[in-house]
Chains A and B, each alone.
Chain A
Amino acid sequence: MPQTWQPKPPTPSPSYSTGWLGWARKNLFSSPGNALLTLLSLAVLLATLPSMLRWGLWDATWLGDSRKVCDSAAQDGSAGACWVFIKVRLEVFLYGFYPEAQRWRVNFTLALLGLAALPILAPTLLRGTLRQTLFALAAALLMLATFGMPCAIFTACYLLLPLALPPLVRQRPFLELFAGRLAGVSAGLFLTALAATLLYFAAGQAGGGGAAGPIAVTGAILVVFLIFVGRLTASAWRWILLFTVYPLAGFFLLVGEVFGLPLVETHFWGGLFLTLVVAGTGMATALPIGILLALGRRSTLPVIKTLCVFFIEFVRGVPLVSVLFMASVMFPLFLPENVTFDKLLRALVGIAFFYAAYMAEVIRGGLQAIPKGQFEAAMALGWPYWKMMALIIMPQTLRLVIPGLANNVLSLLKDTTLVAVIGLLDLLGVAKASMADTEWLGFTKEAYIFAALVFWVFCFAISRYSVYLEKTYHTSQHYN
């Protein structure tokens, strides 16, 4: 008769000194060397921090609306910062030379982006149809209060559409209802053309005039997705809208000449707004192109592989400034005389492709880390290449390369300041231009510090967000 064996019960771990004292002993004074470094750091902080705070906060001039306030303060002997300068020029810092009466369009476009992106960026926050519907209605009310009826209606439509489409398009894609692929494609094209034409005329009848174009394009995009993709989840629709309808809406809102909005040409754009436009479109276009380049570089098709390798290596070999110069100075020389592209557009394309090459290499690094077995398992289950990449390989890859991509996104955001070399005035450009203002000479420190702070806030938010993403996905991520 064997004895009964029982595993030993677990015991609590030995207790060391806890609390803040324990923490300080462990982290600040764990060895003589460490203690010395701690004291040294304290000394440096004591030597620098008080004077910085005195200049930037206590002695600074906050109130007033002209240079005189700061000058008189300086004569009193308190030589603090003159934040009045920033306050007076704030609108220019934010919007550049966008006409004052039209600045609400910028605000609305950015607010809409925030509202459109929130359910995507923080999926855990808005789980469930009810919460999402309430969110859409609350957002619409907010827009009604801030921007008025048309904006509220547009916001409500935009946010409710992804919720309304899945139950409406419950069936298989329309494409599959037609026998044979060719019939499906031609039917799809026909229906798209029909829908576009109908929308065009409907909008024309409604007296929108210039509105017909954007509405027709938006409608046509939706029809294409309904025909070729069909049954999709709300979050998939949200992505589709963000990458199709939102950019169009944003473009027409900001440029104008439709819906009775006056035209604002891009050389009026500037400040933080321009920085965000360049960075935002840069990120949104560089990532998909980067994914395609990374896949292309790993392709077994020699032509595609060579092209991708050539492109990536070429772009990585030249500085961004030279790409921007090429885009703004050289590129027009190759075009026929009557063909011109907007300068901002050329810069955007240059930046997108430049960063796409870097992101491609980051993503390729992630692809190398995916075990070969993942591809084999997917293929053995009958997954075709693109579906496998989209649903099995890329979700894993992108999670792996979050830190690398965050790096790229941050440096993209900061590199937008380089558009200054082709005469576009982003936040830093506007700051520099303001320093040159004869009325406000001598406040360079304030302008630079303000610009740096704004950049820091955005970059810090992005880096915190990347940490949040890593945490969200790694709780569900268990590689062996």
Chain B
Amino acid sequence: MTTPAPAATTARQAIITITGVNKWYNEFHVLKDINLEVGRGEKLVICGPSGSGKSTLIRCINRLEVHQQGRIVVDGIELTNDVKRIDQVRRETGMLFQNFNLFPHLTVLENLTLSPVWIRKMPLKEAQELAFHYLERVKIPDLAHKFPGQCSGGQQQRVAIARCLCMNPKIMLFDEPTSALDPEMIKEVLDVMIDLASSGMTMLCVTHEMGFARTVADRVVFMDSGEIVEENDPQTFFNHPKFDRTAAFLSQILNH
């Protein structure tokens, strides 16, 4: 099911290209002239204080938010108002949310099979096999017939990861996946994310887990007030930040 990890080369083929993107909520300028390129198989961590526009940025990539200026191209498809293109992009990207957003009226297994069956037109049997394969991978096959409400937060988030994987996405977007979890559960979700990273998935993570950023990320992007302040490899980013704003942020979240 998984493709071997491609060698981490410096000149990756870009899978997401964001050029000159601006976005406003009424008068409020959320994204200011964002330029970002993400390579195929790259792991990108986006961090920054709350309200810096990091969530908005990754939500623009699958068009949950609409950008007003600039271009976003995902795997060769430019995002416009064209519904077909949006659907194409969404089928190639999986997204994880802070609140898991599992469908509470369906069992875990149904959560996993519903989309492959109805969107990908996969036969139910095949979809169920796929679902069990990914439940195995996130280490909770015994929860298949439970309802989301009967699972812990960490389990729900792992189900959500499996649900995305069942759609066989090329890109995974993580919108603060561990922020709503108890500390004891954060690790089990991060372990799954690390496993996923090693399989060569392109990943964009908005997170405050700096440990995860250090070990997994190819690149860390720091955002503040709607701008990309700096981006660098994790080593340089954490040890020698270019800007005082970055250093201030890092000292805020690392020392307590």
Residue numbers of A with Cβ under 8 A of B are 172, 371, 373-374, 376-384, 387, 391-392, 395-396, 399, 473, 476-480
Q: Which of B28-36, B95-103, B208-216, B248-256 contacts A (4 or more CB under 8 A)?
A: B95-103
What is the distance, in angstroms, from A380's C-beta to the closest C-beta of chain B?
4
A382-B91, A383-B115, A391-B114 as given contacts; A376 in contact with B97, CB under 8 Å: yes
- Are A478 and B62 in contact, CB atoms less than 8 angstroms apart? no
Which residues 74-106 of B have a CB within 8 angstroms of A? 83, 87, 90-91, 93-95, 97, 99, 101-105
Q: List 8 A-B contacts (CB under 8 A).
A: A373-B101, A377-B95, A377-B160, A382-B87, A382-B90, A391-B114, A396-B105, A476-B105
Residues of A within 8 A of B13 (CB): none
Contact between A479 and B149 (Cβ–Cβ < 8 Å)?
A: yes
Q: Known contacts A380-B62, A381-B115, A396-B104; decide if A371 and B99 are in contact (CB<8 Å).
A: yes
Main SS at interface, chain B: mixed
Asked if B163 CB lies within 8 Å of chain A CBs, one says yes
A253 vs chain B, min Cβ distance (A): 36
Bound-state CA distance A477–B173 (Å) is 28
Is B200 an interface residue, CB under 8 A from the partner? Answer: no
CB pair B105 A382 closer than 8 Å: no
Nearest CB of chain B from residue A166's CB, rounded to whole Å: 11
A414 to chain B, nearest CB (A): 31
Q: How many A-B pairs with Cβ below 8 Å? A: 75
Complex CA distance for A476 and B149, rounded to whole angstroms? 9
Q: State in angstroms the CA–CA spacing of A28 and B127 once bound together.
A: 57
Further pairs besides A374-B103, A383-B119: 8, Cβ < 8 Å? A172-B121, A373-B97, A381-B115, A382-B91, A383-B118, A473-B105, A477-B104, A478-B150
CB neighbours (8 Å) of B160 from chain A are 377
Please tell me if B148 contacts chain A, counting CB pairs below 8 Å. yes
Q: Do the beta carbons of B87 and A377 come within 8 Å of each other?
A: no
Closest B residue, CB atoms, query A476: B147
Question: Does B167 make an interface contact (CB < 8 A)?
Answer: yes
Asked whether, in the complex, the Cβ of B90 is within 8 Å of the Cβ of A380, the reply is yes
Q: A residues within 8 A CB of B95? A: 376-377, 380
The contact of B105 among A378, A395, A480, by CB within 8 Å, is A395
Which A-chain residue is minimally distant from B148 (CB atoms)?
Answer: A478
Of all chain A residues, which has the CB nearest B115? A381
Tell me, in angstroms, the Cα distance from A337 to B103 when the chains sit together: 54
Cα distance A473–B105 in the bound complex, in angstroms = 8
**Interface check B164, CB cutoff 8 A:** yes
* B64 proximal to A (CB < 8 A): yes
Tell me if A376 and B87 are in contact (CB < 8 A).
Answer: no
A172-B121, A477-B149 in contact; A380/B93 too (CB < 8 A)? yes
Does A381 contact B164, Cβ atoms closer than 8 Å?
yes
Scan B117-148; emit 1 where CB is below 8 A from any A CB, else 0: 01101000000000000000000000000011
Cα–Cα distance between A3 and B230 once the two chains are bound (Å): 50
Determine the chain B residues whose CB is within 8 A of the CB of A395 once the complex forms: 105
Report yes or no: A371 in contact with B101, Cβ–Cβ below 8 A: yes
Nearest CB of B to A472, in Å: 12
The 7 closest A-B pairs by CB, nearest first: A478-B149, A377-B101, A373-B101, A380-B95, A382-B91, A382-B90, A381-B115
Q: Closest CB of chain B to A378's CB: distance in Å?
A: 8
In Å, the complex CA distance between A377 and B118 comes to 15
Q: Is the pair A480, B103 in contact by a Cβ cutoff of 8 Å?
A: no
User: B147 contacts which of A172, A392, A478 (Cβ < 8 Å)?
Assistant: A478
For A392, list chain B residues within 8 Å (CB).
Answer: 103, 114
Q: Chain B contacts of A473 at CB under 8 A? A: 105
Please name all residues of chain A whose beta carbon is closer than 8 Å to the beta carbon of B105 when the two chains form the complex.
395-396, 399, 473, 476-477
Please measure, in the bound complex, the distance between the C-alpha atom of A478 and the C-alpha atom of B104, giving whole angstroms.
6
Which of A373, A382, A477 contacts B99, CB < 8 Å?
A: A373
Determine how close the nearest CB of chain B comes to the CB of A234; give it in whole angstroms.
14
Task: Point out the residues of chain B lying under 8 angstroms from A384, CB to CB.
Answer: 83, 87
Q: A373-B101, A374-B103, A396-B104 are in contact. Are A480 and B149 (CB under 8 A)?
A: yes
Q: How far is the CB of A419 from chain B (nearest CB, A)?
A: 37
Shortest A373–chain B CB gap in Å is 4
Taking the closest CB of chain A, its distance from the CB of B151, in whole angstroms, is 9
Nearest-CB distance from B87 to chain A (Å)?
6
Listed residue (B62, B101, B148, B173) with the most chain A CB atoms within 10 angstroms of its CB: B101
- CB of B104 within 8 A of CB of A479, answer yes
Cβ-defined contact, B147 with A377, below 8 A: no
Complex contact B149–A377 (CB within 8 A): no
- Asked whether A374 lies within 8 Å of B101 as measured between CB atoms, the reply is yes
Residue of B90, B102, B107, B147 most packed against chain A (CB within 10 A): B90
CA distance A391 to B110 in the complex (A): 12
Cα A377 to Cα B148 in complex, Å, equals 14
User: Nearest Cβ distance between residue A98 and chain B, in whole angstroms?
Assistant: 43
Determine how close the nearest CB of chain B comes to the CB of A478; give it in whole angstroms.
2
Query: Which chain B positions have C-beta within 8 A of A172?
Result: 121
